[in-house]
Amino acid sequence: MKRNFRFIPINNRTYLKLVYSIAGVLKELSYKYAVRKKAGFKRFKRDKNFRDGIKKYYSQYGIKRLDYYWHDFYREVSGVDSVKFIPDYIFYRYIEPQNSELELAKAYADKNLYQTRFGDLVKTPKCLLRNMNGVFYNLDHEEISRDQALDVLSSISEKHIIKPSLLSGGGRDIALIEKKDKALYLGTEVVVADKLFKRYGDNFCIQDIIRQDPMMAKFNPDSVNSIKILTARMDGDIIFVDSYVRIGLKGTITDNFGTGGIYCGVDKSGLLKSYAYGEYPNRYYSHPDTGVKFEGTRYPGFDQIVEKSLLLHKRLPYFRFATWDMTFDNTGEAVLIEVNLSHQDVSGYQLQNGPVFGDYTDRILADTFL
């Protein structure tokens, strides 16, 4: 029997916002499960007065259904008693998609375009080879054939990094490649160049390794350790919101939480907190592998990184929030590793520093919900 289906017209922008909202929900649910699992599914102490305060605060923005887990978790870990914590689902489902054009995020965050988009403002890793939507480009952004790309890959003599140029969150598929005894290695695995291209698909880049400043490398020299800077648009200006440092573990080349990395809060002067966190409830006062203490470390170029992040965000008119992964190279110059424009992390800041938006929380919630 033939059925007549009635299609409801919907414009592309509404559809894409719906897609990103659903993606945010899935990310929040998966992250919440991961957090609860790492916390041993611990139930945090229920404080009726605290929860009543949360309910009262959020009700003024029309938010009545609340999952108190995030407030309990952030309060327990950070030691900050505040109703202004932003639950992950509030950010992913509402704040981020309502304040940015997320359908444009992939294009603006493409690592293969950092040099052309941001290169006059900040140093970016040198790209030996790029693949964009299946098309290969060389160091000078000139289109080349697949055979020429294979020649470029066969010519490498030092270690390089290969990574997806789109959606590489959590350190996914970031690996070392190098030539040893005429063989090409991906990590510890011998690979054929053509099969390497097939494995990474249509969007990836091969970059020079960043040689870190000793101040960044001292906690763990094996990984590129980064400073995460959150910036936001507010009344026609770009403001610095919050920051923390991510540090990898021995034997890993990435600093992401998903690959075992730890994170340490940073104040506005570039001074690290006395402790870092990894898997809850593990609190570290020194790096678990190198033994280097966090307390007393101040990044002298922190102001430079913040200033560059503010300038860079001005190039992104469609996004209210941007997260910049920055580091210092061995000349002391700031280097942009990555910018995140969708499904940005808000947990790291809140676990270390308290409510992610601080004094701007009221304004951001009002702009989103009222």
The three-state DSSP-derived secondary structure of 13-55 is HHHHHHHHHHHHHHHHHHHHHHHHHHCCCCCCCCCHHHHHHHH
Cite the beta strand spans of 235-370 per DSSP E. 237-247, 262-265, 276-277, 283-284, 321-328, 334-340
Q: Strand 143-144 to strand 204-208: parallel, antiparallel, or no bridges (unpaired)?
A: unpaired
- DSSP of 176-231: EEEEETTEEEETTEEE-HHHHHHHHTTSEEEEEPP-B-HHHHSS-TTS--EEEEEE
Instruction: Tell me the whole-structure pTM to 2 decimals.
Output: 0.88
Q: Say if CB 179 and CB 157 are below 8 A apart.
A: yes
Q: Say if CB 107 and CB 21 are below 8 A apart.
A: no
pLDDT, one tens digit per residue, over 105-138 is: 999 999 999 999 999 999 999 999 999 999 999 9
89: exposed, middle or buried (Cβ count in 10 Å: 0-12, 13-18, 19+): buried
The rounded radius of gyration (Å) of the Cα atoms in the chain is: 22
Residue 70, Cβ neighbours under 10 Å: how many?
23
Residue 326, amino acid: M
Residue 215, Cβ neighbours under 10 Å: how many?
15
Given this model, what pLDDT does residue 252 score? 87
List, in order of start, the domains of the chain with CATH numbers: 12-100 (no CATH), 127-208 (no CATH), 212-341 (3.30.470)
Given this model, what pLDDT does residue 8 score? 42
pLDDT along the chain (370 residues), means of 10: 43 56 58 54 76 96 92 92 95 95 94 96 96 96 96 91 84 87 89 92 95 93 94 96 94 79 92 89 90 93 96 97 96 95 93 95 96
CA distances from 232 to 115, 122, 133, 190 (A): 22, 19, 30, 44
Given this model, what pLDDT does residue 131 score? 97
